[in-house]
């Protein structure tokens, strides 16, 4: 209700309304043009920024396939899985680690004493191995180093097999140890040992197969690659452990060639032995019984194998 004025007359009211309508029509038309030019016909409810105004789709729907003239986005290359792939330099390679002797051999003296054919002669199935003066067995040493080397090699992509993992009552015999590597078609085999030389004799050495042929033995095809494996092993083991080549074997080069070991004579794949040190020498024994040193020894062995397989 208005105070202080009277309602307009009927004729005057219609005239005023007409004037207002005439004034509003152009204004509305200009507003419509401005709204249209700013994209007001687009559907802004579902498309988000840059929406196309098409039908609303669920956020979980797959994008439409590219038109016939468009190319699909490139697919990221899959891992090659081939040797030398980043982080897996030994992918596709088979390595056999032969932990010398067996912790349970001592419980089966008659079985490990039986003779087996090594091609050129007959020798014992196996032996108990040596030990430090304090009683730390070679068989325990070889298993520990072998297991550490396996972890390193598997991390690099290799398939690693053991001749024994302390899970056999004894052995295997030396001829079976060779056969395990052969049947695996191993790219490299390393037999891990520690020596039992006289006190005062120190250092490590790598044993290479001699070229022999006789009976079931024929190493003619593996002597050259086995030497390359042994040379790699010698260099990397010395670098990892700080040990020097044994001066009491051969010419002190750290390499020794032998034709009387069944594990080498019967092998048809590259294979070497490594004598990691002399368990009967107090200074070498101090290293061989040290956990940190055994880890370094495993690194040296794993690196030697890796370098050989990546030649």
From the list 231, 275, 287, 295, the catalytic residue is 275
As beta bridge partners, residue 205 has: 275
Task: Give the span between the Cα atoms of 20 and 35, in whole angstroms.
Answer: 23
Rounded distance between C-alpha atoms, residue 138 and residue 211, angstroms? 28
Strand blocks (E) in the chain: 94-99, 115-117, 122-124, 159-162, 188-195, 205-209, 213-214, 217-218, 255-258, 271-278
Both structure tokens of 98 = 């032969």
Which of 161, 154, 243, 151 is CA-nearest to residue 206? 243
- The single-letter DSSP state of residue 186 is -
Task: Please report how many Cα atoms fall inside a 13 Å half-sphere around the Cα of residue 129, on the Cβ side.
Answer: 29
91 is an active site residue: no
Task: Determine contact, residues 303/236, Cβ cutoff 8 Å.
Answer: yes
Alpha-carbon gap, residue 273 to 194, rounded angstroms:
10
Listed in sequence order, the residues at least 6 apart from 135 whose beta carbon sits closer than 8 Å to its beta carbon are none
Catalytic residues: 275
């Amino acid at each position: 209700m208005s105070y202080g004025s009277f309602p307009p007359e009927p004729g005057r009211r219609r005239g005023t309304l007409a004037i207002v309508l005439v004034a509003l029509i152009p204004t509305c038309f200009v507003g419509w043009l401005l709204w249209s030019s700013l994209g007001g016909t687009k559907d802004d409810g579902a498309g988000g920024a840059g929406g196309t105004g098409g039908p609303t789709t669920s956020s979980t729907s797959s994008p439409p396939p590219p038109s016939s003239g468009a190319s699909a986005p490139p697919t990221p290359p899959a891992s090659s899985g081939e040797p030398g792939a980043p982080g897996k330099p030994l992918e596709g390679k088979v390595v056999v680690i032969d932990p010398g002797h067996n912790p349970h051999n001592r419980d089966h003296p008659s079985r490990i004493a039986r003779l087996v054919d090594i091609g050129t002669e007959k020798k014992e199935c196996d032996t108990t191995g040596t030990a430090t003066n304090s009683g730390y067995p070679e068989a325990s040493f070889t298993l520990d180093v072998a297991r550490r080397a396996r972890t390193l090699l598997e991390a690099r992509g290799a398939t690693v097999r053991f001749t024994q993992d302390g899970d056999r009552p004894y052995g295997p015999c030396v001829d079976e140890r060779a056969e395990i590597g052969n049947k695996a078609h191993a790219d490299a085999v390393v037999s891990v040992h520690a020596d039992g030389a006289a006190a005062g004799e120190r250092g490590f050495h790598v044993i290479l197969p001699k070229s022999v042929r006789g009976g079931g033995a024929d190493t003619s095809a593996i002597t050259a690659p086995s030497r390359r494996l042994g040379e790699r092993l010698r260099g990397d083991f010395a670098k990892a452990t700080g040990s020097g080549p044994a001066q009491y074997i051969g010419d002190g080069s750290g390499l020794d060639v032998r034709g009387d070991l069944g594990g080498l004579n019967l092998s048809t794949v590259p294979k070497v032995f490594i004598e990691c040190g002399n368990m009967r020498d107090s200074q070498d024994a101090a290293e061989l019984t040290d956990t940190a040193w055994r880890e370094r020894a495993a690194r040296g062995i794993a690196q030697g194998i890796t370098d050989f397989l990546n030649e």
